[in-house]
Every structure is written in C-alpha cells, then in structure tokens.
Amino acid sequence: MSGFWSTVFNAEFVFAIFRITAPILFAALGAIIAEKAGVTNIGLDGMMSIAALFGTLISYWTQSWLVGVLGAVLVGMVLGLMMGFFALRLRTDIILTGIAINMLGGGGTIFLLYMFTGLRGNTSSLSSSNILIPTVKIPLLKDIPVLGSILSGHAVLTYLAFILVFVVRFMLNRTSTGLNIRAVGENSNAARSVGISVKRVQYIALIMSGALAGLGGAFMSMYYSQSWNVGMIAGRGFIALAAEAMGRGQPVGAMLSSLIFGFAQALETRVSGIQGVSSFLVAAIPYLVTIIGLVVFVWSSKRKADKRRRQISTSDGE
C-alpha cells in the first residue's frame, strides 16, 4: 500500500495539480468578474473552446506562440462583446446567450476548423513544439529539492494564472473599474442613480471575462493538450462556474476551489493507470467533487448567514 501512496502522491503529482488548475483558474476569474457585474457568463466553456482553436491556428499561421495567445485573448474578447451585444443590446436572456456560445464551442468549432484549414476534428497535424507555450525554469528556485520540481518548470501561462488571481482581486477591490463593476452587480439601479453607465460596465466585464476565458483556452490547446481537438475543454468552463460559486465570488476563494478540482483531476490521471481501477468512474470524480464542494460551501455560507441573523435578532430583543 505504501507503494501506492508513493506512486500517487509525490512532487510530480503536486506539479500536475498546478498544471491542471491553471485553465480552470483563468475561467473562474472570468466567471467572477462577470458575476460581480451581475451577468452570469455560462458561455465560458464555449469561449474557451473557440479561443483554444484560434490560439492554435493563429500560432500556426504566424509561427509564434505569443501571437497565438494574444489572438486567443482577442477572440475571447470579441466573444464577450458578442455576448454583450445580444444580452444587453437585444435583451436575449444571458443564460440563453451563454448556451448559444457553448453550441458554437461544440459543433461550431468543428465547422470553423474545416472552414479555415479543411481539417476535421483536430489540429494535431499543425502542431510543432516551437509554437507551444514555453516553460520557464526559475533560477535558484529550480535547484531547491522537491520545492524546485514542484514550482519551477511550469508554462508561462501557469504562473500568469496565479498572478492574475491577485491582479483581479486588486482590480475589483482597489480600482474605480472594479468599484463600478461591484456597484452594478450589487444594485444596478443605485449604480445608475450615481451616474454609472450600467450597460457599459457590463460590456467591460463580459469582455474581460472573455479575455480570461481566452487565456484558459490558449492554455488548453497550446500547452495542456499540445493541439486542439473537439471536446478538449470537457466542461472546464462549467467547473469554473462552480469554482466561482464555491469561492463565493472571491478570487482567492476561487483559486482554492480550482485547486480542489485540480487535485481531483490529478488524482484521476494518476489512479486511472492502476490495474483494477475503472478509468470511467475515476473520470467522474472531478465532477462529483465539484457538486459536493458546491453544496457544502453554499450550505455552510447559508448556515453562517442564518446564525448571524439569529444573533442580530437576539441582540435586538435585549
């Protein structure tokens, strides 16, 4: 049994957790910004898929990974703008708008891939190592035993994902844009009464949300899977929504929730190789963990709120 534990839980395993967490974290941050502005972005999954496709294609055309990533971000932003146009301008229900984006991310990407390249279903024939997102070995840190092999050698975007947690937190809590976003989400009428353009703020939030989904998509196709294929996002955009809910809309909370998911999936890839373990049941674990996590967190926050209310009512009685 000790052999089992040492093959599953080691430095490599912890490294994998960070790698798996990064794309979900990008999307979860996107979910937070949109949700804070009062628009639920259920289209994250489709946005990631479409951006992932264009990231691969643009990096192939330009033979530059950086342009590919930027292209994916731009595509994400355009999709955010498109969601804004339909949801805010034409008043399509925001949930339905998101579902439409997800449809485009499903079958639509297969069509787009064919339209641009004539390929069907995947881009593995286009990929080469020079257009993948590079990894960085951090000087000094990489020489520390264990810690070095966990924290050094990740892709540029992995580090970026964790840095962005604090950038997004700063943006939401310390900048006027963030204040406007939160004001609109809390009470759009109050925000309007002090002269904030609610629509404009929601447009901005959706575009930022799209940009983050774009980064998540680029990470998936240009590093994680090394090429784009149908269904590669596998519900990560939805898991990001769950991470947002579990983290109660806070960037750091969402990071921790995303790490829980990353852990579950890293475990899945580890355990599924072992004889006698059903790879299918193991594959269900991350989704099950997400449901359980969501329920536990919502339930506990509700209990806390109830407790606070009771305290207030008893102190009133005195």
Partner 1 sequence: MYKRRMVVFNILRGLAAIILALAVAAIFIFLASDEPFEALKQLLIAPLVNFRGESAAFNVQSLYQILALMIPTMFTGLGVCVMFSADMFNLGGEGAVMAGGFVASLIAIYVPMPAGVHPVVAVLVGTLVGGLVTLIPALLRVKVGASEMVSSLMFNYVVMYIIMHYLNNVFADRSKGSTQSFPFIETAKIPQLVTGGSRLTYGFLIALVFVVITAIFMYRTRWGYQVRMIGVNPNFAKYSGMNVASTLILAQFIGGLLSGMGGAIEVLGRYNTFLWKELPGYGWTGITIAILARNNPAFVPFAAFFLAYLDRGCQLMSTHSDVPSEMIAIIQAAIFLFFAAEQFLSGARQKLVVKNAQDELAAMEAKTVQEGK
As a whole number of angstroms, the distance between CA 174 and CA 318 comes to 38
Minimal distance, residue 102 CB to partner 1, in Å: 8
Minimal distance, residue 114 CB to partner 1, in Å: 5
As a whole number of angstroms, the distance between CA 247 and CA 255 comes to 8
Kindly calculate the radius of gyration of the chain based on its CA atoms and give it in whole angstroms.
Answer: 21
Interface residues toward partner 1, by CB under 8 A? 42, 86, 89-93, 95-97, 99-101, 103-104, 106-108, 110-111, 114-115, 120, 231, 234-235, 238-239, 241-242, 245, 278, 280-281, 283-284, 287-288, 290-291, 294-295, 298-299, 302
Minimal distance, residue 226 CB to partner 1, in Å: 22
Minimal distance, residue 287 CB to partner 1, in Å: 4
Minimal distance, residue 305 CB to partner 1, in Å: 10
Identify which of residues 17 and 35 has a Cβ nearer to partner 1 in the complex: 35
Looking at the chain, list the stretches that DSSP marks H as alpha helix, in order from N- to C-terminal side: 2-8, 11-36, 44-62, 65-84, 94-103, 109-117, 147-151, 156-174, 176-186, 188-193, 198-219, 236-246, 251-271, 279-317
Instruction: Name, in order, each residue with C-beta under 8 angstroms of 198's C-beta and a sequence gap of 6 or more.
Output: 184, 188, 191, 192
* Contact call for residues 235 and 265 (beta carbons, < 8 A): no
Identify which of residues 17 and 242 has a Cβ nearer to partner 1 in the complex: 242
Identify which of residues 45 and 171 has a Cβ nearer to partner 1 in the complex: 45
